[in-house]
Every structure is written in C-alpha cells, then in structure tokens.
Amino acid sequence: MLNPTRIEITAQTKAFIGGAKGTIAVIIATNSGYQKKAGTPCRGKFTEGLLDCEQIFRTLNIKPGLTILDAGCGNGYMSKRFSNQVAPSGKVYAIDRDQYFIKSLHNETRETHIVAMQADITGPTLLNESSVDIIYISTVVHIFSKPQMQGFLREVKRLLKLDALLAIVEIEKKETPFGPPLKQRYSAEELKEIVPLVPIDTVKVGEHFYMQIFQNKENQETTRICYRAKNL
C-alpha cells in the first residue's frame, strides 16, 4: 500500500504546484495542505480538500436526475460526489484527456452513475448535443491556450441544454500560496468577457478559489445586454 508522505509548502513545492507536468510525484490536496503519493508519476494537481463542496452543491442546486459533465475531472473525486447527489436517475460524465486517471476512475466506478471517458474537452466529444444540465470545470481553463479555450466554449454551447449551467472553478487571480503564475490565471471578470453565456453568479468556494456560473439562455445577446445594464 502506498504510504503518503506529508510535505511542507516550500518555495520549491510552490513552483512545482504551479509548474509543468512531468516531475516526480502526484500532489494531492488535502484538508491540511498537499500530500505526495510516494512513487507515483506526476500527472496532475487536484483541488480535493480545498473546495467547499457543500457550497458548490447548494449553489448549483445539484439534485437527483441531473446530467453533469465534470470536464477535466482529474482523479474524479468531484464526479463521485456529484454522482451521489444525482442518483438514482442522473448521470455524471467524467472526462479527462489523461488515460491513467480515466482508467482508474473507470475501474473504481463500474456500475455507478459515472461514465468515465478519455477525451479532449477542447474539441467535439462523443456526448449528444443539448444533453447536459451542468458542465463543471475545476482548475482547468487556465491551462488552455486561446484556441483551446475557443474550442472548449464551442463544445459547451453544443452540449448544454437550454437554461443549463456552466460552472468554472478557478484559483483567485492574486498572490496565493500555490497555483499557476498570475498571468496565466483568469479573474471572474475576465471570464465574463470571453464566455458567450449569461453570467449568473460568482461564489467563493474555498480559501483561494471562486466559482463563476454562466447560464445558457435562448437569446444570449439580449440577456447579456440586460445583465450588463443591470450591473452598470
């Protein structure tokens, strides 16, 4: 069995947490900080233990019957939490481009409401058009290049049902003890400028994290103008 070793957040780990893939270990967020799973190859960084999941469920009104896409699900911890809430009639699509995460999630979640799929969410997926109630994407969009972001937003528009939600969780765009370089991060205001959906709410979902929610309205432009006018 793996014996996770506690590591302190040092300048080096900060660089690692915000840095590129391919270094020595998986870093797992826990309530008390970050842990290193000894001996495993580095594949990603997770928000597990860093987000207020109850707040997220309440804000997004997660309930039985919903279809949720956890885009860039990583180890799939949030897919599993969502799955408990949408059962028995709902479904969670857990998508990641990393085959390792998807394989282990698939093995772990057979015969549940989770469908684990390896795919690139910045392009067309195999999911049906207008089939998803909520797209949840946590600490992924800051990784995207501009063309990838455009591709992701195109796929979001294709997948969301009318009035359905896009929830983007990101690390705040200010000095934090970990995270990517500030210039790589999005503020909620910057997201509102580029996402072609109606901004509904911005909620703090962790000490260093916010969730920006958008809704897929029928007449996007009119609603957007009304929203902006209301917020002048």
Q: Which residues make up the interface to ligand SAM (CB under 6 A)?
A: 44-48, 72-74, 95-98, 101, 120-122, 138-140, 143
Q: Decide whether 98 or 227 has the Cβ nearer to ligand SAM.
A: 98
Of the candidates 168, 232, 161, 160, the residue with the CA atom closest to the CA atom of residue 194: 168
Q: Decide whether 142 or 217 has the Cβ nearer to ligand SAM.
A: 142
Of the candidates 169, 156, 153, 161, the residue with the CA atom closest to the CA atom of residue 201: 169
Write out the E strands in the chain: 5-6, 26-30, 33-37, 67-71, 91-96, 114-118, 132-138, 160-171, 198-206, 209-215
* Smallest gap from residue 167 Cβ to ligand SAM (A): 11
CB 34 within 8 A of CB 9: yes
Closest-CB residue for ligand SAM?
A: 74
DSSP for residue 141: G
* Smallest gap from residue 218 Cβ to ligand SAM (A): 28
* Smallest gap from residue 99 Cβ to ligand SAM (A): 10
Of the candidates 80, 150, 78, the residue with the CA atom closest to the CA atom of residue 121: 150
**With 0-12 CB in 10 A as exposed, 13-18 as middle and 19+ as buried, what is 232?**
exposed
Q: How many residues does the chain have?
A: 232
Q: Decide whether 45 or 113 has the Cβ nearer to ligand SAM.
A: 45
CB 42 within 8 A of CB 21: yes
Q: Decide whether 66 or 140 has the Cβ nearer to ligand SAM.
A: 140
* Smallest gap from residue 127 Cβ to ligand SAM (A): 13
* Smallest gap from residue 148 Cβ to ligand SAM (A): 6
* Smallest gap from residue 147 Cβ to ligand SAM (A): 11
* Smallest gap from residue 92 Cβ to ligand SAM (A): 13
CB atoms within 10 A of CB 72: 23
The span from the CA of 114 to the CA of 32, in Å, is 28
Q: Decide whether 131 or 223 has the Cβ nearer to ligand SAM.
A: 131
Q: Decide whether 75 or 216 has the Cβ nearer to ligand SAM.
A: 75
Q: Decide whether 121 or 132 has the Cβ nearer to ligand SAM.
A: 121
